[in-house]
Structure 1
Amino acid sequence: MTWILVWGALAGAGVWLLISRSPAFGATAASELARLDAQRRRGAPRAVRVDDGESKSERLGSRVATALADRGIELPGSIRSDLAVMNRSVESHLGSTLVAAIVGAFAPAIALGPLMFFGIVSPTLPMWLAIVGALGGAAIGQLQLHSEANDRRRDFRHVVSAFLDLVSMNLAGGRGVPEALSAAAGVSEGWGMVRLRQTIENARLQGITPWNALGRLGDEMKVEELRDLAAALALVAEDGAKVRDSLTARAASMRQRELADSESRAQERSQSMLVAQLLLAAGFLVFLIFPALSGIAGL
């Protein structure tokens, strides 16, 4: 049974390599159009890519990303938004995910190697565990990325609320909307303010309005407050008084929402601590009662 599984896996790998390397299967009209669109969005052809400063995992991820782009396959929007929040490239994420899957695949075989050598464990068990470990390693990477992105997105919402107050103050000082946005984004060197400042500066170089650039950043990072801010600025950009009132109201609403979110998370943590305390108390009671019960039962 073991050799059947091994030869079947080798035959499947050979068929996959044959199909992936064959021009008849590797390139279709849809995949070629998708590849050209992906290259146009990246703004540079693959031939000018420089890999000197990349790690091995990033080079491996760039190859995987190129293979996926050639076939018109893109990552889901949720993963791309998380990568945008974490300021990571698709290549580095694919490389780290692939490395985690490889480690998860070989970890069961390494752990159970002595047992297989002495014949205690069947060789088929590590093969199935390798599949589970590979899937688990890739899934853990995705879950970690999503968790870190949610925390970073929450911090960015706090930065946006402070940014709205600063813009309102600059508007009250007589500045226009573009100047107020630039001045408000230049008061801090935190990663959130730096991201906003770079977006506003790039908008000036590209010849688009700052609120349109902020709206694109909100779409890229999946931050609804930033998209709402861009829509509001686009509607009332010509009237400074309305802009100030709108920004002040939005900043107050965001702070109230953040306060409610912080209170709910604090309640969840307090409940989890209560459960942990109850478990500790139950264990202590068992520790106290067990000697008396064992004496009565004659154990």
Structure 2
Amino acid sequence: MIAELAAGAVAGGGLALLVMLLVQPQPGIAATLARLERGGRRSAVTRSAAGERTDGRLDRARESIGARLESEATLRGWQLSRTRTDLAVMNRTLTHHLGTKALLGLAAFIWFPGVITLLGYSNSLGVPIVVAVVAGFVGFMLPDLQLHRDAESRRRDFRHVVGSFLDLVAMNLAGGRGLPEALMAASSFGGHWAMVRLRQALSNARIMGLTPWESIARLGEDLGVEELRDLASALALAGDEGARIRTSLMARAESMRRKELVDVEGAAGESSQSMLLAQLLMCIAFLVFLSYPAVSQLGS
């Protein structure tokens, strides 16, 4: 009974996916405007990274499947905001990510039940079907988990660079430069990817006729870095009202460094607790190993 139910669920899910792919919905106005806005704000770094991929058969299949899935998501108005933000931080395209998810889920769906069947661990059809569904779901969701973890690591790296960037801006302001010139000069130091993104955002602001703080706010929204949006608000206040910004920027940089130090100390404390727990488990296992012969002799 379980095998029939599992087979029916898999067949029904496959038919539902097939119908969703075949039926082309009409995109709404909000979805169309969001797609156009994302296309206009796509960075040149992302386009160049997309052009550097190899033209292998697997890559072409991944790009084709990913493009179809991205088209379906756009037509149905699925924003995928968190995924797009993480991809912007990692400098990857949504097409590449969706193609990877689909191929990895399909590979897990086929490989794991095949191994179970070949090794003879199951004499019925229900177990391989259940394993296939679970493995396919895990394989499909695994790239999202890996992407989010890597994106959070790069965001921490970006926040560290922003603190140094604020110090450089304050130094340029102390040298008599105006705020826009100080921002551009500070972003010109170093070849770190975060500095490159800041420099690119400020350069695009000149081309698009935006103020530097508006461009920084857009970059913070695209990358999901709240500190950049707060910085843009402070810079807008200074640019519009002529407030003294140098002391404020130095204080903000110091605050970011203190917060980063607290986060590092918290991570170190968690690692210490994990090591203590591992040592405790090793001691318990060693005590069990020593006491097992005596306990076994008492039982006999």
Q: Same fold (TM over 0.5)?
A: yes
The structural deviation recorded for 1:142 is 1.4
Counterpart check, 1:67 vs 2:75: no
Displacement of 1:189 in angstroms is 0.4
Aligned partner of 1:65: which letter?
A: E
Question: 1:90 is matched with which residue?
Answer: 94
**Which residue of the partner structure matches residue 21 of structure 1?**
22
Q: Quick check: 1:185–1:197 contact (8 Å CA) kept in 2? A: yes
Deviates more, 1:285-294 or 1:168-177: 285-294
2:203 paired residue number: 201
**After the TM superposition, which residues 104-119 of structure 1 pair with which residues of structure 2 at under 5 Å, given as runs?**
104-115=108-119
TM-score by length of 2: 0.86
Contact 2:10/2:133 (<8 A) preserved: no
Q: In the alignment, which of 117, 121, 124 is matched to residue 122 of structure 1?
A: 124
Contact 1:105 1:130 in 2 (8 A): yes
Change (3 A) 1:15 1:153: closer
Point out where structure 2 has 5 or more consecutive residues left out of the alignment.
Answer: 42-46
Match of 1:157 in 2: 159
Worse-superposed segment, 241-250 or 203-212: 241-250
Aligned CA distance change for structure 1 residues 173 and 127 (closer, same or farther; 3 Å): same
Q: Distance in 2 between matches of 1:35 and 1:152?
A: 29
For 2:30 and 2:224, locate their aligned partners in 1 and report how far apart those are by CA, in whole Å.
24
Contact 2:205–2:211 (CA<8 Å) still a contact in 1? yes
Q: Helix, strand or coil for the counterpart of 1:175?
A: coil
Check conservation: 1:199, 1:217, Cα contact below 8 A.
Answer: yes
* Residue 73 of structure 1: how far off its partner (Å): 2.1
Match of 2:281 in 1: 279
Distance in structure 2 (CA, Å) of the matches to 1:128 and 1:151: 35
| Aligned-partner SS, 2:77 | coil
Residues 1:292 and 1:195: Cα distance change in structure 2 (over 3 Å):
same
Q: What RMSD, in angstroms, separates the aligned Cα atoms of the two structures? A: 2.7
Query: How far apart, CA to CA, are the structure 2 residues paired with 1:5 and 1:295?
Result: 49
* Cα pair distance change 1:51/1:225, threshold 3 Å: closer
* Counterpart position of 1:177: 179
What amino acid is aligned across from residue 105 of structure 1 in structure 2?
Answer: F
8 Å Cα contact 1:156/1:192 also seen in 2: yes
Task: Tell me the secondary structure at the aligned position of residue 106 of structure 2.
Answer: helix
Q: CA deviation at 1:271?
A: 0.5
CA distance in structure 1 between the partners assigned to 2:260 and 2:283 by the alignment: 34
Report what 2:224 is aligned to.
222
CA gap of 1:139–1:21, structure 2 versus 1, over 3 A, is: closer
1:194-215 residue CA offsets vs partner (Å, 9 max, x unmatched): 1111111111111101111001
| Structure 2 residue identity aligned to 1:21 | L
* Inter-partner Cα distance in structure 1 for 2:102 and 2:117: 23
In the alignment, which residue of structure 1 is the partner of 2:44?
none
Count residues with an aligned counterpart: 286
| Structure 2 counterpart of 1:63, one-letter code | R
